[in-house]
Chain A
Amino acid sequence: MAEGSKDQACVGAIDPEDDSPNMIIYRKIEDVVMRIQDEKAGGVTIRTVKSFLSKIPSVVSGADIVQWLMKNLTIEDSAEAIHLGSLIAAHGYLFPISDHVLTLKDDGTLYRFQSPYFWPSNCWEPENTDYAIYLCKRTMQNKARLELADYEAENLARLQRAFARKWEFIFMQAEAQVKIDRKKDKAERKILDSQERAFWDVHRPVPGCVNTTEMDIRKCRRERNPHRVKKSVYGVSDENQSQPSPAHIPSQPTRKPTKEDVQKEITFLNIQLDRHCLKVSKVADSLMGYTEQFQEYDPFVSLTEPSNPWISDDSSFWDLEASKDPSQQRVKRWGFSMEEALKDPVGRDQFLKFLESEFSSENLRFWLAVQELKRRPLQEVASRAQEIWQEFLAEGAPSSINLDSHSYERTSQNLKDPGRYSFEDAQEHIFKLMKSDSYARFLRSNIYQDLLLARKKPADTEQGRRTSLEKFTRSVVSPSSWAAWLFTRSSQTTLASSSSSSSSSPSTSS
């Protein structure tokens, strides 16, 4: 049966080459567990405890373990140490001697360490036949403390039904195990029995307990050594065992790089070498600057006004966001950068409104149209691109924009085979232009300043023109209204909208 006391050298030490995710964890836990047991190097005292008429060998209290973890892993809060200790137990490295449930308690509860033979790093995947032998063996041992728990009795009953045909074989194996066990020294048996039980508590956990042997299926394929998988606890050979499971088929070993691969790598490295990079100090300042600027907008860092809906169960915060009156704080954000102004639909509308009042909205409308072009389904792209060309760039275009000749030539070329990125150069150029010109004027404008300083607006003179935002806020936030909003938004940006109604507006599609 199980060979092993904690003194025995690790059977199945982790292959140092094995860096699969599970093994990394096991390695770390095993390092901790070995340190805890190393009394000479500041580990806990593992001793025999006298209890009623008997002695309990090789145990340590939960409190001792928690203390050690806090001290040696720099943990300030005992709750954290208990949590980590419980996980170490749940993975099968230590266990309470009188409970199937593998958690750590910060009190006098007694714990024992698992034998390295049973460590999860040995790639145990015990079969049900072994579990059947184990449960069967338990019923043969007439000891109150080894009596089957309810869930174990249920499992045994199910196994008996499933293995009905080979139950005789299982029974015989169980008997053989009992014989072997009887030959062992009493104290040693106590330890081994408990370790064996703890092993099964990991692989056949109490219902309701986490099964820590469950694996993330994305990582299964890469388990290195299918032949290292241990399936038999009791030396029972099973026909299925010689076949590695599909989960353990090693994925194609990473192919050796070809000349082509290395050439690609060289090209890549040369590009990286040419890249102009910033110093970390500069980058750090930039990160700090951004964070500082936006801290007041971060609900986790600053109090929100009105309250955070998730905390207060009051959704006013969201209602305010959706309303047509943006708060001063929100308007202030549009001033941080043009990107911020464009990101906020209300900011974008106000910017557009300002430009329209100056009859210089073609740049922004072009930019918005190109953004929208990139969001179209593939088959609509070519025709839409042509429409944009006609509207903004062609000779005598109604909303003609100013492009430098280089970008104009490039764009004109691109339009021969129109695609989503045909206007990239133009869009970039226009963006820069707006940033240095229109955006700066917008921030100085009355439209913006009134909102920023929350000045009372004169009676609305544009009664007839409902903005798309107003249409949206009438409905509650729901998928249908989102669809409706999207429709009106897209028709807004595709229409050559200006304060004068144009009869030659191109047909819209959305």
Chain B
Amino acid sequence: MRGVTSARQQHQLAEAGEPWWRQRESERKRPNTRTSSTIPSPLCASSLKMACQALQSGESLATLKNESDSLKKKLEEERAKLHDVELNQVAEKVELVSALSIRTRRVLKGHGNKVLCMDWCKDKRRLVSSSQDGKVIVWDGYTLNKEHAVTMPCTWVMACAYAPSGCAVACGGLDNKCSVYPLSLDKNENLAAKKKSVAMHTNYLSGCSFTNSDMQLLTSSGDGTCALWDVESGQLLQSFHGHTADVLSLNLAPSETGNTFVSGGCDKKANVWDMRSGQNVQSFETHDSDINCVKYYPTGDAFASASDDGTCRLYDLRADREVAVYQKDSIIFGASSVDFSLSGRLLFAGYNDYTINVWDVLKGNRISVLFGHENRVSCVKVSPDGTSFASASWDTSLRIWA
């Protein structure tokens, strides 16, 4: 029944895999009652055993916690000693950025529903985008041509990435997988037929990125983990555990020599990982809500985050602390996505209030606000040569700004 189904009902049906508009009110299935089987009964044997063990080791757990707490305190004190100045104070001597006249230069229309993610091709003009209705489109952003289109078997394709060679794209979402589609030159060829399932998670796929090669894929998931996969064999090369809630975003360090990446999640933490060992090497927790996006500063020595608390923040890895907060009283809605301009001077941030704010990374002030989208901005990415940035929105369009 078009137009009268509530948003929640749409989501409910989308999650069940059904397009909501196919369901008639009277035929609507009852919501699943799977809750009853997942709530453990307090009387079952294993939980009794756990309770007993807890009682026995109760004391040592408390001692450990005390140790942990005192270490945290000590760490805070040590770090505070290094906090000798604020970044924006030091940056007072830096020249102001000359007035920017950023405008929409292209509008890409073609998706039928919310655009959730996009990624640039290394050729600086092509991009791939994915949407709530399962469509993944490859565009030449410069000419507005749609070059490829694939329909995924699931809705809410929340992650998509362009392969470094430009010959394939990866995408996934509610199907809990990340699949790779080689891009054929033959327009008539059915891309879906060549699809290769690479990653398997136990919850939705929130992010994916190729490493420096078409052969490895890094993924993040609502199941709280990140994972590195070998594309050809589908084998899991390394998994990354540490987040205590959904991981929403990941970003590979830009270094040619580095083997690290950063992830952000619903546990309000941003974690830096060693890809070789799977270890969490650094962790930052200063946001008040979910971290929706993390992005490295061009050198890889720092990264920015965007959060539902309405702020974006800059964390430096060498100082091991937050060094800037980008916020304003008038910015109430959450930030969904961030990216740096080529020199790292500007931070472009997309928000759930439909705007994009441009921040001066060093001085900490907002340089300008860009209007144009008619619904939430879900993703913002600067092109590989820094000449533009693209934004994807729930208003079903993408915009390229320069």
Contact = CB atoms under 8 A, between A and B. Distances in A.
9 contacts: A24-B308, A283-B302, A285-B90, A287-B316, A288-B94, A291-B361, A292-B94, A301-B98, A376-B213
Contacts of B239: none
A299 B87 CA distance: 24
Given A291-B345, A300-B342, A283 B332 contact: no
B100 A300 contact: yes
Interface string A272-300: 11010111111111111011111101111
Contacts of A287: 87, 297, 301-302, 316, 344, 361-362
Given A219-B290, A310-B402, 10 more contacts: A128-B5, A165-B26, A204-B6, A214-B394, A246-B16, A247-B8, A254-B245, A288-B94, A298-B345, A479-B166
B320 A309 contact: no
A272 B283 CA distance: 9
A interface secondary structure, majority: helix
B325 interface: no
Contacts of B361: 287, 291
B285 interface: no
A155 B4 contact: yes
B14 to A, nearest CB: 7
Interface string B1-29: 11111111011101110000000111000
A46 interface: no
A279 B142 contact: no
B344 A309 contact: no
Contact of B68 (A240, A269, A279, A288): A269
Contacts of B67: 266
Contacts of B206: 218
Interface string A140-172: 000000000001001100110011010000000
Interface in A352-411: 371, 374-379
A280 B344 contact: no
Give the 5 A-B residue pairs with the shortest CB-CB distance, closest first: A375-B213, A298-B343, A377-B232, A294-B343, A310-B402
A180 interface: no
B175 interface: no
B82 to A, nearest CB: 5
A482 B123 contact: yes
A265 B333 contact: no
Nearest to B358: A300
Interface in B250-295: 255-257, 259, 266, 276, 280-283, 288-290
Contacts of B33: 243
Contact of B84 (A203, A280, A304): A280
Contacts of A222: 266
A310 B233 contact: no
Nearest to B233: A378
Interface in B162-197: 165-167, 174, 183, 185
A84 B342 contact: no
B100 A247 contact: no
Given A83-B353, A342-B256, A25 B385 contact: no
A123 B149 CA distance: 38
Given A19-B289, A259-B57, A318-B124, A83 B85 contact: no
A226 B368 CA distance: 40
A421 interface: yes
Nearest to A480: B185
Interface string B327-348: 0111011100000011111100
Nearest to B368: A77
A224 B4 CA distance: 26
Nearest to B206: A218
A284 B302 CA distance: 11
A73 B213 contact: no
Given A272-B320, A283-B319, A375-B212, A21 B334 contact: yes
A106 B188 CA distance: 52
A219 B334 CA distance: 13
A210 B294 CA distance: 27
B57 A374 contact: no
B233 to A, nearest CB: 5
